[in-house]
Chain A
Amino acid sequence: MSQFHEAFFEESFEGLEIMESELLDLDIGEGDVEIINTIFRAAHSIKGGAGTFGFMNVSEFTHVMETLLDEMRDGSRDVTQFAVDSLLQSVDVLRTMLEAARDKADVDEEMVASRYAVLEGILKGEEAGAAAAPVATAATPEIEASAPASAGGASGWVIDFAPHPDLLMAGNDPVRMFRALSELGELSVDVDLEKLQPLTELTPEDLYLAWTITLTGDAAQADIQEVFEWVEDECDLTITPLSGEQPVSEPVVSVPVVEPAPAPAPAAPAPKAAPAKAAKPKAKKPAEAASIRVGIDKVDEIINLVGELVITQSMLDQAGEDLESLAESSPSQEGEAGKANAEILLRLSKGLAQLERNTRELQEGVMRIRMLPISFVFSRMPRLVHDLSSKLSKQIELVVSGEETELDKTVMENIGDPMVHLVRNALDHGIETPDIRAAAGKPETGTLNLNAFHQGGNIVIEIKDDGAGINKEKVLAKAVEKGVVAPDDVLTDDEINNLIFAPGFSTADVVSDVSGRGVGMDVVKTSITSLGGSVSVTSEEGKGSVFTIRLPLTLAILDGQLVTVGNESYVIPLITIIESLQVDRQNINQVAGKAEVYKLREHYIPIIRAREVFGLKDDKRDLHESLMVVVEVDGAPAGIVVDDLQGQQQVVIKSLETNYRKVETMSGATILGDGTVALIWDVNGMVNVHRKKLNRGAVKA
């Protein structure tokens, strides 16, 4: 059962996302039927699933939302700002409830109840604080809608239930439905055997029976419909009030009423918004293209195998080349045999060339499986902007482009929070309030642009606002005060702007009137750096700021510098390397007899001997002319001395932890072209171990 639960939760959360994004697309007062339908469907399947799995609170709560949506859809209720906001908040509550159900935790009943009450209130026509909407029409249909329920409730219902023959195929069980009905009241069931085939012609999987059910008791019609909601497309169902005392308004409700085809515009048609609206859903379509749900472990397995294939292929390639050069250097065989050999060789090299091409394409293709469009992250933003702009009383328009740009799922999962932070920052501190904007001669509505595109092997995400920009003087003053820069340092404008990412720059009071007060900006930078990416900002005072995030497309591949220490080759992530240089004796200095520092131009950086860190024998040799890789660790440079530098190459990252454990100095491992394993450095860990050893050495001495 639990695997069904998992699928249910996964689908429900997706459903919530759909509801959220569609609600945000919904224009107040117009109520595009297509959009409401989409929201309704999402809510409906959550309700159905929750009912099946016994999450009654979820199903009840969703039911109220559904009722409200239903009324919006058939035009009997106006799409007001208040209703949409309430629905959005209800989506949040629903998410909390589902999370609680998933984690088997308790849910905040009070919150649910109060939200429930608000929704009920709307249904009853209370529009607390709503923009004065012409709701006069809304009241009438509602009475109509509730009337049959109460009237019918007094006496009972006659249900004609004629399932299609294939009803059982979908796993539906009429007995279960009858049992559910029997809980609603007294049940008497007549079966219709007319269609029943003789045993010889009977298909055991088909259902030939039909029933007439008389339900006495005060059941509501909606409750009865709910029992049949999973089969409504697979049966002919009529529900009639028992006594027939309700003949006028809705004598017969045929059940396929719940999911009609897009109703022929009961809501006001919106010719004005039509072009824009039409374009939006189209842009989203690719994401909804036919897809299958596959476990990420299966994908990773394929990626592994393809990685192996690449190595095998390069081995074969090497062997082919060797064979060729061998044949060239010793043209021993002449005549027919020689010709035949040459021909075989040619075929081999052709085959190898093709293998190489196919392998590369296969690798790229497999990597693409893990790629998802960034719209998964971008889709969180409209809600954020919607909520924040009303909270901050600012008018902000969000413009999103490049949402189809793809990046690795793992990167995606980790970029959401930093992006939310940057967007929040831009709204909070970047874009000004309408009156300030008007005074500055800008349009009252500020614009926030989110843009994503591919550049080289990276994905670039831009977050651009047309707000106040960064106040450089204040930032510089604060940086000097905080000791981030020296007072006499000469910095370019860009350098000053990027000071907001410096650790220790986070204070609440600083430059609070401009974009980027620096709160948590170092955290943003740290999390982006840990993904192997970078973030920078350009800004023009009065015009706005642009934050640019640059990320690798995938965490599975890394650009590395190969180095040798002892007998082993290691990979240093290229992104951490500032430069590589040859050590000059004159620049080496000792500190306290133990630690070594290197004078690199104007700065002193610690020298870290890789051999020492790895516990290898180090002859304490003179470092003169040895090779040093300068890396950045927590924003500060450090020089790591290695035995030799080899080439740079792209490597596939593999976990050491899967079959071993975390190694402090290493972030993972990779397989080199010759099939051997090379470990990938974690330069932070290298520095940590170096410090530990230094400390211990100092204690010993």
Chain B
Amino acid sequence: MSTEAPANNDIITGDKSHEDQYLTFLLGEEEYGVDILRVQEIRGWDSVTTIPNAPPFIKGVINLRGTIVSILDLRERFGIESVEYNDLTVVVVLRVKSDEGDKERIMGVVVDAVSEVYHIGENDLKDAPDLGYAINMNYMKGMATIDDKMVIVLDIDHLMSLKDIDELEKSGQGLIEE
């Protein structure tokens, strides 16, 4: 799929100097993109070890070649209706800057399927309109149109931030799921 990408890109933009590659994946009909340099690997969904009292969007932890890596479900993170995991369900393993900013953290996101790799020029990345409470604006870096399709480019550092969990826990909500 990556072979097609440059062709796409030439149509989209003539300016090649400020463009990044993005890996996109699907959540239902929607296509989301993340900076490809942050993608460590893509692996099939495999069972996880659950973490007691974690928020629902944290599925648990897996053993990634000896390292304990937590897995986040993007549907649940966005509050989209969850679907049963199937053969296409994949985990995109990302390198995320931790909340303290000085360290890197490896986390996996569960998505429906991976889609394409696109080059997107800086100028083609448009600011997302304010959608009120539909989605936290901090999670979005912008939007781009590719082949008449909309791709939502995510800011993974904010998306994968665990600060929310801390706040949940402080307010005592994280503990009880009744």
Task: Give the interface of A toward B (CB within 8 A).
Answer: 304-305, 307-308, 311, 566-568, 613-616, 654-656, 658-661, 663-666, 669, 671, 675-679, 689, 692-693, 696
Chain A positions within 8 Å of B178 at CB level: 615
Complex: A658 Cα to B67 Cα, angstroms: 9
The yes or no answer to B176 lying at the interface (CB within 8 A) is yes
Whether the pair B49, A307 counts as a contact (CB closer than 8 A) is no
Given contacts A677-B49, A693-B175, contact A660 B61 (CB under 8 A): yes
Measured CB to CB, the nearest residue on chain B to A303 is B66
Closest Cβ of chain A: how far from B85's Cβ, in Å?
A: 16
Q: Are A307 and B53 in contact (CB under 8 A)?
A: no
Q: How far is the CA of A693 from the CA of B106 in the complex (A)?
A: 31
Is B61 touching A613 in the complex (CB atoms < 8 A)? no
What residues of chain B lie closer than 8 Å to A663, measured between beta carbons?
51-54
Task: Give me the 7 closest cross-chain CB pairs, A-B, nearest first.
Answer: A614-B52, A660-B70, A308-B66, A677-B49, A304-B66, A669-B68, A659-B106
By a CB distance below 8 angstroms, the chain A residues around B69 are 659
Q: Contacts A654-B68, A655-B68 given: A689-B61 contact, CB under 8 Å?
A: no
Q: Chain A residues near B54: list those with CB within 8 A.
A: 663
Interface centre among B47, B54, B175, B177 (most CB of A within 10 A): B175
Q: Are B68 and A656 in contact (CB under 8 A)?
A: yes
Q: A689-B175, A692-B175 are in contact. Are A307 and B50 (CB under 8 A)?
A: no
Does A693 lie within 8 Å of B68, measured CB to CB?
Answer: no
Residue numbers in B under 8 Å from A567 (CB-CB): 50
Residues of A within 8 A of B107 (CB): 659-660
Provide the bound-state CA to CA distance between A689 and B53, in Å. Answer: 10
How many chain B residues have a CB neighbour from A under 8 Å?
31
Closest A residue to B104 by CB, please name it: A659
Q: Could you list some 10 contacts between A and B, CB below 8 A?
A: A308-B66, A567-B50, A614-B52, A615-B175, A615-B177, A658-B67, A669-B61, A676-B47, A696-B175, A696-B176
Query: Which A-chain residue is minimally distant from B58 (CB atoms)?
Result: A660
Known: A616-B52, A654-B67, A677-B48. 19 other contacts (CB 8 A): A308-B65, A613-B52, A614-B52, A615-B176, A659-B68, A659-B69, A660-B70, A660-B162, A663-B53, A663-B54, A665-B52, A665-B53, A666-B51, A669-B68, A671-B66, A676-B49, A677-B68, A679-B49, A692-B172
B107 to chain A, nearest CB (A): 6
- CB-based contact A305/B62 at 8 Å: no
In the complex, which residues 11-67 of chain B have their Cβ closer than 8 Å to any Cβ of chain A? Answer: 47-54, 58, 60-63, 65-67
Taking a contact as CB atoms under 8 Å apart, the answer to whether B63 and A677 are in contact is yes
B105 CB-CB contact with A under 8 Å: yes
Is the C-beta of B166 less than 8 angstroms from some C-beta in chain A? Answer: yes
In the bound assembly, the distance between CA atoms of A665 and B162 in angstroms comes to 17
B165 within 8 A of A: yes
Question: Taking the nearest CB of chain A, how far is it from the CB of B18, in angstroms?
Answer: 32
A614 vs B52: C-alpha distance when bound (angstroms)? 5
The answer to whether A676 touches B63 (Cβ under 8 A) is yes
Residues in chain B near residue A693, CB distance under 8 A: 175-176
**Residues of B contacting A669 in the complex (Cβ-Cβ under 8 angstroms):** 49, 61, 68
B158-178: contact bitstring with A at CB < 8 Å (1 yes, 0 no)? 000010011001001001111
Q: Which residues of B contact A671 (CB under 8 A)?
A: 63, 66, 68
A443→B176 CA distance, assembly (Å):
65
When distances are taken between beta carbons in the complex, the residues of chain A under 8 Å from B66 are 304-305, 307-308, 311, 654, 671
Q: How far is the CB of B21 from chain A (nearest CB, A)?
A: 24
B68 touches which of A658, A665, A689, A692 (Cβ 8 Å): A658
Q: A658-B105, A659-B70, A659-B107 are in contact. Are A677 and B65 (CB under 8 A)?
A: no
Chain A hits for B60, CB < 8 A? 677
Over the window 82-95 of chain B, the binary record of Cβ atoms lying under 8 Å from chain A Cβ atoms (1 yes, 0 no) is: 00000000000000
Closest to B54 in A: A663
Q: Would you call A677 and B61 a contact (CB within 8 A)?
A: yes
Among B53, B58, B68, B70, point to the contact of A664 (Cβ < 8 A). Answer: B53
Q: Quick one: which of A311, A658, A675, A679 contacts B51, CB cutoff 8 A?
A: A679
Contact between A304 and B67, CB atoms less than 8 A apart: yes
- Give the one of B48, B49, B169 with max A CB within 10 A: B49
Q: Which residues 108-129 of B sit at the A interface, judged by CB distance below 8 A?
A: none
Please judge, given known A-B contacts A676-B63, A677-B61, whether A661 and B165 are in contact too, CB under 8 Å: yes
How far apart are the CA atoms of A179 and B123 in the complex, in Å? Answer: 54
Q: How far is the CB of B66 from chain A (nearest CB, A)?
A: 4
Q: How far is the CA of A615 from the CA of B174 in the complex (A)?
A: 10
Residues of A within 8 A of B106 (CB): 659
Docked Cα-Cα span, A485 to B62, in Å, equals: 47
CB <8 Å contact, A661 and B162: yes
Give Cα A656–Cα B70 distance, bound, in whole angstroms: 8
Chain A residues in 8 Å Cβ range of B176:
615, 693, 696
**Which chain A residues lie closer than 8 Å to B52 at the CB level?**
613-616, 663, 665-666, 679
Give CA–CA (A133, B53) in the complex, Å.
72
User: Which of chain B's residues 135-178 have a Cβ closer than 8 Å to chain A?
Assistant: 162, 165-166, 169, 172, 175-178
Partner of A659, one of B47, B105, B166: B105
Chain A residue at minimum C-beta to C-beta distance from B47? A676
Given A307-B66, A677-B62, decide whether A568 and B172 contact each other with a Cβ distance below 8 A.
Answer: no
Q: Closest residue to B62 on the A side, CB-wise?
A: A677
In the complex, A689→B54 CA distance in Å?
13
A666 to B54, CA, bound (A): 12
Complex contacts, B68 vs chain A, CB 8 Å: 654-656, 658-660, 669, 671, 677
Distance from A663 Cβ to chain B, minimum over Cβ atoms (Å): 6
Q: Looking across the interface, which residue of chain B has its beta carbon closest to that of A569?
A: B49
Contact A659 B63 (CB under 8 A): no
Distance, CA A308 to CA B175, complexed state (A): 33
